[in-house]
Amino acid sequence: MNRSPRALAAMVVAPVAFGIAFVALWEAAVKVLDLQPYFLPPPSAIWREFQANAALIWEATKVSGSNALVGLVIGTVLGVALAFVLSRFRVLNELVTPLAVALNAVPIFVLVALFNNMFSVTSEVPRRLMVTLVVNFIVLVNVAKGLTQVDRTHVELMRSYAASEVAVLRKVRVPNAVPYLFIALKIAAPAAVITAFVSEYFGGSQNGLGSRIVGNIAISKNATAWGYVLGACLLGLAFYLAAVLAERAATPGRPQSAE
């Protein structure tokens, strides 16, 4: 009852139509303006490169994707756990939350350069660590909010039922935090992918999407680099859609949080 099939169709059709128009315009612009391939290759060339290198792109996607996934899972678990601890102690919460928000606003993934120094050159750990950190902050801030910002009427009702702190946690705070967790995941899932491949720019083994993009640009294979960019876009999209589907599965029928 929250979304009619028609509204859903409109939601899908509009962006798809826009995408097609955009690609067509791009293709036409390259032809008409006679842009050089090293400046901007046409979508048709990118698509050819994408198909020709599909196996390689898939390998690189698996590397970046698994780094993103591992970091996303660990970061989420850690973020939820920390949110419970923080929400238990108000002072701690008031201290850490602004810090976490502030850290979220700076591009902390440059820290990966330092992590790279701590581990062997071929290790994937620094990148996964970086993703974990980024995801952890996003999840922590949102879930802590959900656990603490509880309707005042609910709190008074629970007190009138002589409910214990544990009962309030289980029956009010945790369910109240569930939508916040999914808001966090919808932000964190694409952020995990971005962090995973941006982390690859800072050294380490050259097997992921990020390093391949840089590597191909370095040898002037622009269209191939764009092929990898396409792979990266699809990976980010897949992560976001997975988060949206998880939300729908976990809270069926409930009005969805703002996207």
Partner 1 sequence: MTNAVDVRGVSKAFNRGRPDEVRALVDVDLAIEPGEFVSMIGPSGCGKSTALRLMANLLEPTSGDVHVNGKPARKARLDQDYGMAFQQAGLFDWRNVTKNVELPLELKGWDRSRRRERALEMLHLVKLDEFAEHMPWQLSGGMQQRVAIARALAAHPPLLLMDEPFGALDEMTREHMQAELLRICGETSTTVVFVTHSIPEAVYLSTRVVVMSPRPGRITDVIDVDLGPRRDVDTREDPAFFKKITEVREALRGMERASSSEAAGPPQPAGMEDR
Can you give the binding site for partner 1, defined by CB under 8 A? 1, 151, 153-154, 156-163, 167, 171-172, 175-176, 178, 251, 253-255
Rounded to a whole number of angstroms, the distance between the first and last alpha carbons of the chain is: 18
Q: Least separation, in Å, of the C-beta of 157 and partner 1?
A: 6
Instruction: List Cβ neighbours of 177 (8 Å cut-off, separation of 6 or more).
Output: 83, 143, 145, 146, 147
Q: Which two tokens stand for residue 112?
A: 């990966």
Q: Least separation, in Å, of the C-beta of 258 and partner 1?
A: 15
Pairwise CA distance, residues 243 & 146, whole Å: 18
Residue whose CB is less far from partner 1, 101 or 167? 167
Q: Least separation, in Å, of the C-beta of 188 and partner 1?
A: 22
Q: Least separation, in Å, of the C-beta of 82 and partner 1?
A: 23
Residue whose CB is less far from partner 1, 2 or 120? 2
On whether the CB atoms of residues 255 and 204 are closer than 8 A, the answer is no
Q: Least separation, in Å, of the C-beta of 80 and partner 1?
A: 17
Q: Which of 66, 57, 83, 63 is nearest to 208 (CA)?
A: 63
- 256 backbone φψ class: left, alpha, beta (φ>0; ψ -120 to 50): beta
